[in-house]
Amino acid sequence: MTSISAAEYREKYGGGGQPATKAKKNKFNAVKVEIDGLTFDSKKEAKRYIQLKAMQQHKEIRELKHHQCFELAPKTRIAGEKRAKPALRYFADFTYYTAAGEFVVEDVKSAITRKTASYRNKKHLMKTVLNIDVQEV
Q: Which pLDDT tens digit goes with each residue over 99-134?
A: 999 999 999 998 888 899 999 999 999 999 999 999
Q: Residue 20 — pLDDT band, cuts 50, 70, 90?
A: very low
Determine the pLDDT at residue 40: 93
What digits encode the pLDDT tens for the residues 40-82? 999 999 999 999 999 999 999 999 999 999 999 999 999 999 9
Q: Residues 87, 75: contact at Cβ < 8 Å? A: yes
Q: Which of 26, 24, 22, 55 is nearest to 41 (CA)?
A: 26
72-89 b/e with 16+ CB inside 10 Å = b? beeeeeeeeeeeeeeebe
Q: Residues 112, 52: contact at Cβ < 8 Å? A: no
Question: How many other β-carbons are positioned within 10 Å of the β-carbon of residue 95?
Answer: 17
- Domains in the chain and their CATH numbers? 29-75+88-136 (3.40.1350.10)
